[in-house]
Amino acid sequence: MKFTEEHEWLRPEDDLIVVGITEHATTQLGDIVFVELPEVGTTVTKDEEVVVIESVKAASDIMSPIDGEIVEVNSALADNPALANEDAIGAGWFFKIKPSDASQMDSYMDEATYNALIS
Amino acid sequence: MSELLQTPLHHLHVALGAKMVPFAGYSMPVQYLMGVMQEHIHTRTKAGLFDVSHMGQVIIKGADYPTAAMALETLIPVDILGLKPDRQRYGFLTNDTGGILDDLMLANRGDHIFMVVNAGCKITDLAHMKAKLSGVQITEITDRALLALQGPSAQAVLSELNPMAANMRFMDVTSLSLAGSECWVSRSGYTGEDGYEISVPTAQAEALAKRLLSHADVEPIGLGARDSLRLEAGLCLYGQDLDDSLNPVEASLTWAIQKVRRTDGARAGGFPGSEIILPALDQGVTRHRVGLKPEGRAPMRHDVPLFQSENGGEQIGIITSGGFGPSIGGPVAMGLVADGLHQPGTVLYGELRGKRLPVTVTSLPFLPANFKR
């Protein structure tokens, strides 16, 4: 599992990458009340805005950490956006992406490095 | 930017684990450990304690109450002279073009007027009043904190400190001894719930706050929940829903201008912008502040443009404040819309991230108020 400085996590799952945001990020954002997810089939590039999160306080954009095609989104978030607060690195995942260049993962932090960043 | 000011409760906020943010020149708690959503719900179900010490507390004193009231009526288009002793009412300072300089609460305290104004406007309000009024003393009270205790348990909680609190009705104002301090208490607030605002000497503020927080029903509540609570209650936030380019009729605040100050009233006009505001009252305006309920779950916030149709057409309005309403369980907003499109039930479209999503004009408040009338 890898982490970005933008507080996203990336977890390989077969030939796909599951993406979400960390518990540190959801704690900072506060109670999440709305998540707008990309459409399945969309091709995205690294650093392109793909998800909008609305917390009680404000709206935040989430960028795609890698290039690829969105192959699945977590539709459970539509009815229950609080999942992102309750289980940020599990049931609160955002989307699954089919990477066009999996080596883009390599530049991101491992868990220990990320934990040091936020501590 | 100069250093942030701190309220007398700063150390308590930090000790309670508040997340502090800059607001109107002060370091203020935006939320505590509970988080905005739970703090909001707690206030609606039990009681919340808010530090609103950043707001301006002002005393206006003349030879007697009528002298002070008549002076202030030259700046504020409400009936101040007719306000009974120990009663409070809502008002606003207007400018020469009929716009609102600030909205405020003012109380008849027998021999003087006590006023509470917005933190972000207090310096300009004081300068404006001092420049325009003669024959009265205008004094900012800087040695008192201001607390708000809001929610259905507020009466029971405050009555434990002084049983007289239970006798007050909505918009009553009185002096009460609370935990050994002489406090100026009004039965009012900014949440749509029953509750009190309490002006307490700075030296005793923390002790009083701790005493109130020691009650099982009371939790500290930050500015985040204060904003969602007032939004559901349909109450304006100065700087967002109100500003110096919007007149009180456009702002749907005509209820605050009593008949005596309107055309044909005994003390009609005589305030800045009256030649714009009185005709607006009589003849109508081109835009109105309304409640807006976005469909779906996406909140629509300040500055989202509004349109009459899903595609094309000119912009016909704008969201002035909006967000998620925890008690409504969905997004809520207020905005300005063109005359004719302001009737409840009218469906408009807010443009959010390039997409137009339906919003319905809704009567305010979103939740019925729980005042003790």
Residue B228 CA to residue A55 CA, distance in Å, equals 12
pLDDT at B16 over 80: yes
What do you get for the CA distance between the two ends of chain B, in Å?
44
pLDDT above 70 covers what percent of chain B? 99
**Exposed, middle or buried: residue A116 (CB in 10 Å: 0-12, 13-18, 19+)?**
exposed
Q: Name all domains of chain B by residue range, CATH numbers in brackets.
A: 10-52+146-169+176-232 (3.30.1360.120), 286-373 (2.40.30.110)
pLDDT at B1 over 70: no
Chain Cα centroid distance, residue B111: 25
CA distances from residue B158 to B148, B186, B211 in whole angstroms, order as listed: 11, 12, 10
Contact B226, B237 (CB under 8 A): no
Cβ-Cβ contacts under 8 Å for B308 (sequence gap 6 or more): B316, B341, B348, B349
Taking only the tens place, the pLDDT of each residue in B249-294 is 999 999 999 999 999 999 999 999 999 999 999 999 999 999 999 9
Instruction: State whether residue B301 sits within 8 Å of chain A by CB.
Output: yes
The minimal CB distance from B298 to the residues A30, A54, A56 is found for A54
pLDDT at B220 over 90: yes
B149: left (phi over 0), alpha (psi -120 to 50) or beta: beta
pLDDT interval class at B2 (50, 70, 90): low
Nearest-Cα distance to chain B for A60, in Å, is: 12
pLDDT interval class at B215 (50, 70, 90): very high
pLDDT at A57 over 90: no
Average pLDDT over residues B223-239: 97
pLDDT at B284: 97
pLDDT at A109: 97
User: How would you label A53-62 residue by residue, b for 16+ Cβ within 10 Å and e otherwise?
Assistant: bbbbbebbeb
Residue A88 CA to residue A22 CA, distance in Å, equals 6
ipTM above 0.85, yes or no: no
Residue B372 CA to residue B349 CA, distance in Å, equals 37
In eight-state DSSP terms, residue A37 is P
Q: How many CA atoms lie within 13 A of B171 on its CB side?
A: 13
Residue B144: both structure tokens together: 């008192």
Nearest chain B residue to A58, by CA: B323
Angle (nearest 5°) at CA A20 between A19 and A24? 140
pLDDT above 90 covers what percent of chain B? 98
Taking only the tens place, the pLDDT of each residue in B83-110 is 999 999 999 999 999 999 999 999 999 9
Q: Name all domains of chain A by residue range, CATH numbers in brackets.
A: 2-101 (2.40.50.100)
- 3-state helix vs strand vs coil in chain B, percent to 5: 25, 35, 40
pLDDT at B171: 98
Instruction: State whether residue B328 sits within 8 Å of chain A by CB.
Output: no
How many other C-beta atoms are found inside a 10 Å radius of the C-beta of residue B252?
20
Nearest-Cα distance to chain B for A51, in Å, is: 11
Residue B116: both structure tokens together: 């509470």
pLDDT at B173: 98
pLDDT at A56: 86
pLDDT at B219: 98
Residue A31 CA to residue A80 CA, distance in Å, equals 11
Which residues of chain A from 68 to 107 reach within 8 Å of chain B, CB to CB? 78, 81
Residues in chain A: 119
Average pLDDT over residues B116-139: 97
Q: What does the mean pLDDT of chain A come to?
A: 95
Average pLDDT over residues B198-212: 98
Residue B61 CA to residue B63 CA, distance in Å, equals 7
pLDDT at B326: 95
